[in-house]
Structure 1
Amino acid sequence: MNPAPRGTAADGQLAADAVAAHQDDIPRSRSAASRYALAVCALLLFATFAALGTWQVQRLYWKLDLIARVEQRVHAPAVIPPARDHWTLITSESDEYRHIRLAGVFLPQFSAKVQASTVLGSGWWLLTPMRLEDGSTVLVNRGFVPARADDWNGHAPLPSVAEKQQTATVTGLLRISEPGGGFLRHNDPAAGRWYSRDVQAIAAARGLSDVAPYFVDADADGESGSKGAEPAADHPVGGLTVVSFHNSHLVYALTWYALALMVAGAFIWVARQEKNLSGRDR
C-alpha cells in the first residue's frame, strides 16, 4: 500500500480551521427568547406611537370645534349675563367667550392687579368688581395696565381711573376662572401677588360675597356711561383677549403615525433578516 502523501493531515487541519473561522464570521440567528423580546418591544413602540397619533387627531377635532365656537361667540351681539341659578351649570364648553353686557357700579376699592404679558408688553390686568342691579358681583377685567418703575413684586399702585366708584355698562367676553396661579408661581393672596385671574381667591381676599364664578374681559370700547373718573394716561386697555389658537395637531398626528410605520417597517426588515439567517444555519 502506498504511503499517504506528506502534509495531508496538516493540510486537512488547516482547511477545517479555515472553515470554522469562516463560520464564526457568519451572523447567527437570534434565539427564540430574543426574537420574542424584539417583537414585544416593536409592538409596544408601534402601539404607543399610534395611540399618540390618534390622541392628536382627537385634539385636532377638539381645537377645530373650539375655534369655530369662539369665532361664533365673540362676534355675536352682547347678551345678558347668566342668572344666579345658572352659575353652577357654567362650563368652558357651554359658556366661555360668550359676549355679554353688564350694568352696575364698579367697586374700585376692591380691585386687584394680576400679572400679565400681552402684545403691549408686560404689566397687569386690572380686575375690578362690579355690583349688578340684582345684588350679585362680577369681576371685570377692565384691561391691561403697563408696568411702571415703582411696581415691586406685584404691589403695583392702582391706576387713577379706579379712584372713585363708577356707574357703567360693560360689554366683554365671559371667561372661566383661572385657579391656583401661573406657571411655577402660586397666587399669594396675603401678599397681594396674583399670577392668574382666580375669581374665588380674589373674592375671598377682598371679602366679597355673592360673586359669579367667572370674570369678564372688557372689550376695547367696552365701558360706557362711566361717572366719577376721567380717562387717564394709565387707563386700562381692553380688548386684548387672545381669541386665535395655535393649531399644529395635524402635523403632530402625522409625525406620530410616521414613527409607528417606521417601527413596523424596521421590525419587518429585521424579521426577514432573521428568517434568512435561520435558513442559512440549517
Structure 2
Amino acid sequence: MTRKMILPLLFGISGTAVLLWLGFWQLQRLEWKQEILAEIDARIGGTAVVLPQNPDPETDRFLPVTVTGRTTADELHVLVSTKSQGAGYRIISAFETDDGRQIMVDRGFVVDEEKLTERPTATMTVQGNLHWPDEVDLFTPEPDMESNIWFARDVPVMADALGTEPVLVIARTTSATTPAVTPLPVDSAGIPNDHFEYAVTWFLLAAVWVGMTGVLLWRIRRGTE
C-alpha cells in the first residue's frame, strides 16, 4: 500500500462506519416506533369511558369515550379521500351532550354527491376516540367558508366556527343509521413509520461508499504502478 492510498482508505472506512451507524440507529428507532404504535393501538381499542370534563390534547389523545346527546344542524365538511370510495367529505357535527356540553363529533365519510344531503338533528350514542389531528401545515389552504369545504381538521378553528368546546370525538360506532354516514375510526395507520426505509437507505449508501472507495484505491494503485 502506498502513502497516497492511506488517506482515501481512512476516509472510506470512517464514512462507511458513519453510514452503518446511521442505519443501525434507524433500526433502533424502528423498534421504538413499533412499541409506540402498539401502545396507541391498545389505547384506541380500550374500554370506553365518560367524556372527561376538561380533556387534555396530550394526555387524552386517542382516549376511548362514549357520549350520548343530539347533533345540531351545524356541521363542517372536510375534504378527504378513501381507497374504497374515492373523494368525499368527513362530516363534523356540532353535538350537544345530555349534560348540556357542546362538543364536536366526526361522524365519518360521505361521497361527494351526498355532501349536501340533509342530515336532520338526531339523538344518538357515539362510541369513539378523542383526537386532535395534526393535519395543518404551511401548504394547507384556508377553508372555503362559503362552500363549507375544509381541507384539514383544525380542532380549535373548527370549534370557533361551530361554537363548541375544542373537543372532537372521532366516531367508531353510532346508534344513528339514517342518513348513512360511514365512520372513519381512529387508527395508527396514518402515523408515519418510515424508519425501516431510512435504514435501508443508509445501508445502501454504505455499500455505495465502500464501492466508490474501492474504485478510488484501485485507480490510485494503477497510477503508481
- TM-score above 0.5: yes
Assess, with a 3 A threshold, how the Cα gap between structure 1 residues 262 and 67 changes in structure 2: closer, same or farther: same
Residues in 2 aligned to 1:248 and 1:190: alpha-carbon distance in whole angstroms:
35
Which residue does 2:34 correspond to in 1? Answer: 64
Higher relative CO (Cα under 8 Å, sequence separation at least 6) belongs to: 2
Specify the alignment match of 1:83 in structure 2.
53
Superposition CA RMSD, Å: 3.6
Gaps of 5+ in 1: 1-28
Alignment of 1:231 onto 2:201: no
Partner of 2:76: 112
Cα distance in 1 for partners of 2:33, 2:201 equals 18
Unaligned regions of 5+ residues in structure 2, if any?
Answer: none
In the alignment, which of 194, 197, 208 is matched to residue 262 of structure 1?
208
Q: Which has the higher helix share?
A: 1
Q: Distance in 2 between matches of 1:117 and 1:263?
A: 42
Task: State the distance in 2 between where 1:135 and 1:49 align.
Answer: 58
Alignment coverage as a number of residue pairs: 221
Under a length normalisation based on structure 1, what TM-score does the superposition of the two structures give?
0.63
Quote the offset at 1:103 in angstroms: 2.2
Q: Which moved more, 1:47-56 or 1:197-206?
A: 47-56
- For residue 194 of structure 1, the aligned residue among 150, 155, 158 is 150
- Tell me if structure 1 keeps the 8 A contact 2:41–2:187: no
Segment drifting more, 97-106 vs 184-193: 184-193
Q: Is the CA contact 2:142–2:150 (under 8 Å) kept in the aligned structure 1?
A: yes
Mapped to 2, the partners of 1:113 and 1:40 lie a distance apart of 60
| Aligned 8 A contact 1:115 1:124 in 2 | yes
Shift of 1:145: 0.7
Q: Take 2:106 and 2:222, find their aligned partners in 1: how far apart are those partners?
A: 70
What one-letter code is carried by the residue in structure 1 that aligns with 2:142? Answer: N
- Max Rg structure: 1
TM-score by length of 2: 0.76
Distance 1:260 1:112, change over 3 A: same
- Percentage of matched positions with identical amino acids: 24
Cα distance per residue 1:225-246 (max 9 Å; x no partner):
x6xxx713xx211145454468
Shift of 1:163: 1.9
Asked if residue 167 in structure 1 is aligned to residue 96 in structure 2, the reply is no
